[in-house]
A and B are shown apart, each in its own frame.
Chain A
Amino acid sequence: METDLKILLIDENETRSAILFEGLRGSGLNCVEWLKDTRNLSERIFALDPDVILIDLENPNRDVLEQMFQISREVKRPIAMFVDQSDSQSITQAIDAGVSAYIVDGLKSERVKSIIDTTISRFNAFSNLHKELAEAKSALIERKEVDKAKGILMKQRNIGEAEAYALLRKAAMNKGQKISDIASSIVTASELMG
């Protein structure tokens, strides 16, 4: 019966939603609805009548959900953030991961806990992935800058690639900067000089 729990996920990020979706499915939860477009949120929640609502913290529609504590005629049952308010540790973990949860009163707390834990770990997995991608991207940009700087040095000084790289490394060590920083100043300077 508990696998019939209806979960509503409100998140504008498609990748993150897909990651969480898969995670919840993996733990046997098949009734997961995802809302990307949050227009008319109140009506749509009323129609879906979810047991658990997960919403990303950067979504201003959290305030729309807050209204439902006040107007019980909009949703059948009042909902509250987390089952046990004293469980501030899991709230902290959720906030750190960037997600907030609203749960229908009276749900068994172990069941909810496992949903929240899955959500937190999937949100964290997404942000790690995001960070790795960003790092990979900036590493690529840095490498291109170093290649350009090497080319400039090789041409101007009439030296080989290994020597050009050695020069860059030496300058970086002397100035206490990263090789990529030295490289980009060479590229900028060369662009200015023409």
Chain B
Amino acid sequence: MHEIKLGFIPLVDCALLAIAKEKGFAEENGIQLSLHKEVSWANIRDKIYLGYLDGAQMLAGMPIAANLGLMPNSCEIVAPFVLGRNGNAITVSRSLFAEMQKSNDTILEELDLKKTGAALKAVIDQRKIEGKTILRFGMVFPFSCHNYHLRYWMSSCGIEPDIDVHLEVIPPPFMDQYLEEGRIDGFCVGEPWNSLAVEQDVGVIIATTKQVWAYSPEKMLGLRKQWVDTYPEALNALMKTLHQCVNWAMQSSNIDELSKLLSSHTYIDVPAEIIKRALTGDIKLKNAQDSTQIENFLMLNANKPEQAAAKWLFDQMVRWKQAENIDIHPDALKNAFATQVYSEHLPSIQYDIEIDYSLFDGKIIKGA
């Protein structure tokens, strides 16, 4: 048996890890999998650095930041499997939503990022004239797609993310409470926290981040490079396991069971009905309204990491001054998004999804 210790954060995109453990796929492949629920990304990083964990669910920016030495307590990370693409949303308080509606009252019907951005900009401009306080948005970690997507969207719509709004890190379970108490005006977070805000009628989902780029890798399986080099057989078993989990998760008849599994205290501890929304893409944008079907809201398939995505994330780090655009070691991004490792271990996997690299503003992700 290969003993593997992996960390996760209670979010819907920990699904594949939960399936591996609970549906017996890990065991079938000779893996004794122990999953460790962590409260912060910093804990995950530190415990991997110290060898308490072999790997973990990671924000897509984390393996890159680790390999470039942008975070403390980092060791080299190999991330060979995308655990989820998309799955985040942008939620605003009911009062900010009402302000946005003044310039556009069909935001939710259209779900057009440019128009939503224009409505937000109109509010920001108006507040400046009236001398009102700067709008505050919560996101989850500096090296997260939440941070980059919010910034990309805002700046494309003429909003300066470092000047016109205040972006701050808030742990996902606190987002709803902060929004309700008026400490923030909106946030970008993964599920189930957006749907929970809608359910409690403290917020309105105005956008999903898949609108920025429809195939954005959101969470990766990040492993210590040292572990990957030492245990190639365990890695192979783990890759096969995860692929089987994807096949299981893709069967729509399993969605109810998966929602229920994730709703338990061991994983997310939020009612299954709310978790199910992200898994079906049947998203309720506003309380007491019919839900909207959003295609590929959260993708648990299309798991091969691609270099173009790693490069795009690195470009965002440079753009927002987290990293310097100096010559980086070529292996840093190759390990961070380990396309080759995926292909070596799962050579025969062909998925029928054609990944489109165009962003919402018409630009195309380079190197795709």
Residue positions of A touching B, CB distance < 8 A: 39-40, 42, 57-67, 69-70, 80-82, 85, 88, 91-92, 95, 100
In the complex, the chain A residue whose C-beta lies closest to that of B141 is A63
B168 within 8 A of A: yes
Is B142 within 8 A of A95, CB to CB? no
Query: Given A60-B40, A62-B40, A81-B73, do A67 and B169 touch, yes or no (CB 8 Å)?
Result: yes
Do the beta carbons of A64 and B170 come within 8 Å of each other? yes
Chain B residues in 8 Å Cβ range of A66: 41-42, 71, 141-142, 169
Contact present for B169 and A95 (CB under 8 Å): no
Contact of B142 among A62, A69, A100 (CB under 8 A): A69
Establish whether residues B183 and A65, one from each chain, have CB atoms under 8 Å apart when the complex forms.
no
Query: Is B43 among interface residues, defined by CB-CB distance under 8 A?
Result: yes
Which of B40, B140, B171 has the most chain A CB atoms inside 10 A of its CB?
Answer: B40
> Would A64 and B72 count as touching, CB distance under 8 A?
no
Q: Are A65 and B52 in contact (CB under 8 A)?
A: no
Q: Are B171 and A85 in contact (CB under 8 A)?
A: no
Neighbouring A residues of B42 by C-beta, 8 Å: 62-63, 65-66, 100
What are 8 A-B interface contacts by the 8 Å CB criterion?
Answer: A62-B40, A62-B42, A62-B43, A63-B141, A67-B169, A69-B71, A92-B50, A100-B46
How far, in Å, is A17 (CB) from chain B's closest CB? 18
Q: Would you list which residues of chain B between 1 and 57 have a CB under 8 Å from chain A?
A: 39-43, 46-47, 49-50, 52
Q: Is B104 in contact with chain A by the CB < 8 A criterion?
A: no
Q: How many residues in B have their beta carbons less than 8 Å from beta carbons of A? A: 26
Partner of A63, one of B41, B72, B73: B41
> Bound state CA distance, A61 and B141, in angstroms?
11
Q: What residue of chain A has the Cβ atom nearest to residue B169's Cβ? A: A67
| B 131-179 contacts with A by CB, 8 A | 140-142, 168-174, 178
Question: Chain B interface (Cβ within 8 Å of chain A)?
Answer: 39-43, 46-47, 49-50, 52, 71-73, 140-142, 168-174, 178, 183, 322
In the assembled complex, the CB of A59 is this many whole angstroms from the nearest CB of chain B, namely: 7
Residues in A with CB closer than 8 Å to B73 are 81, 85, 91
Contacts of A60 in B (CB 8 A): 39-40, 171-174
Closest CB in chain B relative to A41 CB, distance in Å: 9
Q: Is the CB of A40 within 8 A of B183?
A: yes
Cα A95 to Cα B51 in complex, Å, equals 12
A61 to chain B: which residues have CB within 8 Å? 40, 171
Contacts of B50 in A (CB 8 A): 88, 91-92, 95
Pairs A-B, 6 closest by C-beta atoms: A60-B171, A62-B42, A67-B169, A62-B40, A70-B142, A60-B39
Q: Is the CB of A57 within 8 A of B142?
A: no
Q: In whole angstroms, what is the CA distance A60 to B42 when docked? A: 9
Query: Is A63 within 8 A of B47, CB to CB?
Result: no
Chain A residues whose C-beta falls within 8 Å of the C-beta of B168 in the assembled complex: 42, 64, 67
Q: Please state if A80 and B72 are interface contacts (CB–CB under 8 Å).
A: yes
User: Closest residue of chain B to A88, judged by CB?
Assistant: B50
Question: How many angstroms from the CA of A100 to the CA of B172 in the assembled complex?
Answer: 20
Cβ B39 vs Cβ A58 within 8 A: yes
Contacts of B47 in A (CB 8 A): 95
Distance (Å) between the CB of B222 and the closest chain A CB? Answer: 16
B210 to chain A, nearest CB (A): 23
Q: How far is the CA of A52 from the CA of B47 in the complex (A)?
A: 21
Chain A proximity of B5: nearest CB distance (Å): 14
**Beyond A61-B40, A62-B43, A66-B142, 15 extra complex contacts between A and B, CB < 8 Å:** A39-B178, A39-B183, A59-B40, A60-B40, A62-B39, A63-B40, A63-B140, A64-B168, A64-B170, A64-B171, A66-B71, A67-B169, A88-B49, A92-B50, A95-B52
What chain B residues lie within 8 Å of A63 (beta carbons)?
40-42, 140-141, 169, 171
Contact of B46 among A39, A42, A59, A91 (CB under 8 A): A91
The verdict on A57 contacting B141 (CB below 8 Å), with A40-B183, A63-B169, A85-B72 known, is no
* B53, chain A: closest CB distance, angstroms: 11
Closest to B45 in A: A66
Chain A residues with CB under 8 A of B170: 64
Report the minimum CB–CB distance from A52 to chain B (whole Å): 15
Q: Looking across the interface, which residue of chain A has its beta carbon closest to that of B41?
A: A63
A67 vs B47: C-alpha distance when bound (angstroms): 19
Q: How far is the CB of A44 from chain B (nearest CB, A)?
A: 13
- Interfacial chain A residues near B183, Cβ < 8 Å: 39-40
Residue of B nearest to A92 (CB): B50
Shortest distance in angstroms between A190's beta carbon and chain B's nearest beta carbon?
32
A81-B142 in contact (CB<8A): no
Shortest CB–CB separation between residue B231 and chain A, in angstroms?
A: 21
Q: Taking CB as reference atom, which chain B residue is nearest A64?
A: B169
Docked pose: A61 CA to B168 CA in angstroms = 12
Asked if B72 contacts A69 (CB within 8 A), the reply is yes
Report the minimum CB–CB distance from A85 to chain B (whole Å). Answer: 6
A45 CA / B189 CA spacing, docked (Å): 24
Q: Which residues of A contact B49 (CB under 8 A)?
A: 88, 91
Please give, as numbers and ranges, the residues of chain B lying within 8 Å of A64 by CB-CB distance: 168-171
Q: Residues of A contacting B172 with CB < 8 Å?
A: 60
B207 shortest CB reach to chain A, Å: 23
Most B Cβ at <10 Å: residue of A39, A60, A95, A100: A60
- Closest residue on chain A to residue B177 by CB atoms: A39
